[in-house]
Homo-oligomer: A and B are copies of this chain.
Amino acid sequence: MSEFSLDVIRQAAARLRGKVVRTPLLESPMLSERAGCRLLVKAEALQLTGSFKVRGALNKVLSMEHAARRQGIVAFSAGNHGQGVSAAARQVGCPAVIVMPNNAPRIKVENCLWWGAEVVKYDPQTEDRVEVAQRIAQSRRMTVIPPFDDYDIMAGQGTCGLEIVEQLEEIGVRPDAVVINCSGGGLASGVSEAIKNAFPNTRVMIAEVLGYEKVARSLESGRPESNPSVPKTILDGISGPTAGAKTLEVLRRHQATGLSVSDDDGLNGVAAAFKMLKLVVEPGGGASLGVVLAGKADVAGKNVVVIASGGNVDPSVFSMALERC
């Protein structure tokens, strides 16, 4: 029996109340027509720090003992988790170090610095980010905040799913499917736990980088798999190297299946969100939207929830998407 359940998500929601944004569940008749299904888009790009990541980070740091918290926290992150941890540290008033790849989008680095964190860069081709973070944690007596494979993190991200359930109940809609952008599986596991408890018949699908579907492969093999290499993709928000063990267990329980997202799909998702939702999303944040628009999810005529999970995108990348409008 898993230690992860709806209860811990509810506890996280109580902890986070008033400290994070209750993001809207957006709908556009024009977008739904184009998708061929009724699309409901959880606008998590409007979250504090521009992505869902602050939910898990803040739940984690609020669960830490006071003495440990005072020493500070460390995170390794392609970007959005780093911003979430930086903002969480600022909210509770503790130091934070963010370990980032040297090719991280400029906006994500700048934002961590703005929240008051220290940024330490590493080379993803030659160095191991976990080792870099652990070295800093040991030397400074800081706590590593894991990006996804942790019940507190998963519960924090799951509060996004609790809100979706409430918002669907407010408008009287039963979801046939939910499509969730997936890197390590923190958001996907948390959200699917919340949604499956309320709507047991909803299909759970995860959106991963085409050719780098580590979580889909893990669901088949039954153990956490890794990507064979670092993907060269514009979908940086969902390009992490490994699946989690805890997240995998939850996703297996909910019979999640995988969808493969191309860079094209991601950019089409960004363009559609710009044009029809007036929402800024990053390519990885628009992956689930783009993959549904591409007709890859087999959801014609259904009620489909997608999560626009983040909006931290460099202007040059956004311009590429605008050319598709």
A107 (CB) vs chain B CBs: closest residue? B275
Within 8 A of B (CB), among A209-263: none
* Chain B residue nearest to A51 in the complex (CB): B278
Q: How far is the CA of A54 from the CA of B50 in the complex (A)?
A: 28
19 contacts between A and B (CB under 8 A): A21-B24, A23-B24, A24-B24, A24-B46, A26-B46, A30-B114, A43-B46, A45-B278, A46-B278, A50-B278, A107-B275, A274-B280, A279-B279, A280-B280, A315-B323, A315-B325, A319-B319, A319-B322, A322-B322
> Is A318 an interface position by the 8 A CB rule?
yes
Within 8 A of B (CB), among A19-42: 21, 23-24, 26, 30
Q: Which of A305-324 contact B (CB under 8 A)?
A: 311, 315, 318-319, 322-323
User: CB within 8 Å of B: which of A271-325?
Assistant: 274-275, 277-281, 311, 315, 318-319, 322-323, 325
Q: Could you tell me the distance in whole angstroms from the C-beta of A22 to the nearest C-beta in chain B?
A: 8
In the bound complex, do residue A318 and residue B274 qualify as a contact, i.e. CB atoms below 8 Å apart? Answer: yes
- A residues whose Cβ falls under 8 Å from a Cβ of B: 21, 23-24, 26, 30, 43, 45-46, 50, 107, 111, 114, 274-275, 277-281, 311, 315, 318-319, 322-323, 325
Bound-complex Cα distance A255 to B2 (A): 62
Chain B residue nearest in CB terms to A281: B278
Q: Does B30 contact A277, Cβ atoms closer than 8 Å?
A: no
**Bound: A50/B27 CA distance, A:** 11
Q: B277 to A46, Cβ gap below 8 A?
A: yes
Inside 8 A of A277's CB, which chain B residues have their CB? 46
Contact B311 A315 (CB under 8 A): no
Give 12 A-B pairs besides A46-B278, A107-B275, A274-B315 with Cβ atoms closer than 8 angstroms: A21-B24, A24-B24, A26-B46, A43-B46, A45-B278, A46-B277, A278-B279, A278-B280, A278-B281, A280-B280, A315-B325, A318-B322
Which B residues touch A111, using CB under 8 A?
Answer: 30
